[in-house]
Amino acid sequence: MSDEEQPQIYLILPPTIEVATFPDLLGRVLDAEAVACLRLDLSSRDEYRIARAADACREVAHARDVAIVINDHVALAERLGLDGVHLSDAGRSVRGARKTLGADAIVGSFCGASRHDGMSAGEAGADYVSFGPMAGALGDGTLAEAELFAWWSEIIEVPVVAEGGITLEVASKLKTITDFIALGDEIWEHDDPSARLSAFVADLG
C-alpha cells in the first residue's frame, strides 16, 4: 500500500454472542466507522449456536455492504450464506476451501509470523494473509514484527492483515505497511466499542 492510504478495519467478532442483543451493538459499531470485513470466530462448537449467531450478524453486515467470513468452517460458510472463510492453518487448506467455495468467495489465511507460510498461502490462492500476534503471549509467544509487514508490503501484492494485541501505538506503527488492521477484544472489551473503534480510526488517519 502507499503511504497515503489508510488501512481498512477488519473486525473480529466476540467469541460469545448473545443474538438477542449483540446485533444492535454491532449495527452501532458499523454505523460509526467504515469496516471492510467481519470475522465470526465463536468459542462454541455447537452448530446450532454458530448458525444463529451467523444469521444475525450476516443480516446486520450485509445491510451495510460489509463482508462477513467465518473461522475455519468451510462447509458452514457455504451453507449459511457467508462471504467466505478465514483459515487458521497457515495456508494448508486454502486450495480445498477455494475449490469448495468458488472463485468469488473470500478465502483468508492466518500465517503467524512466517513469511514462508504467507507466501505459500498467497500462491495457493488466498485473498489475504494475516500475521500476528503483534503483542502478548498468544500461541507459542512468537510475535509478528513490523519488519515483516514492511517487507510484505514492498514485495508481495496479496493484501495483508495485522491482528492480535493491536494497541493505538502498534496501529500507528503499522499504518503505512499493512492493508488491514484487525480489531477484536481491542474494542469489544471497551465500555463503548463504537468510541474505541473511532479512536483507532482517528489515529490511523
pLDDT tens digits, one per residue of 72-85: 999 999 999 999 99
Mean pLDDT throughout 104-130? 97
The DSSP result for 29-92, as a single string, is HHHHS---EEEE--S---HHHHHHHHHHHHHHHHHTT-EEEEES-HHHHHHTT-SEEEE-STTT
User: Would you say 147 and 164 are in contact if contact means Cβ atoms under 8 Å apart?
Assistant: no
Whether residue 191 is contained in a domain is answered as yes
Q: What is the spatial distance between Cα 187 and Cα 117, in angstroms, rounded to a whole number?
A: 28
pLDDT bin (cut points 50, 70, 90) of residue 141 is confident
At residue 137, does pLDDT exceed 80?
Answer: no
Domain extent at residue 12? 8-204
User: Would you say 125 and 95 are in contact if contact means Cβ atoms under 8 Å apart?
Assistant: yes
At residue 136, does pLDDT exceed 80?
Answer: no
Whether residue 2 is contained in a domain is answered as no
At residue 104, does pLDDT exceed 50?
Answer: yes
What is the chain's mean pLDDT, rounded?
95
Whether residue 16 is contained in a domain is answered as yes
Whether residue 129 is contained in a domain is answered as yes
Q: Which three cell numbers stand for residue 52?
A: 444463529
Whether residue 171 is contained in a domain is answered as yes
User: Would you say 140 and 173 are in contact if contact means Cβ atoms under 8 Å apart?
Assistant: no
The CATH number of residue 151's host domain is 3.20.20.70
Task: Please give the tally of structural domains in the chain.
Answer: 1
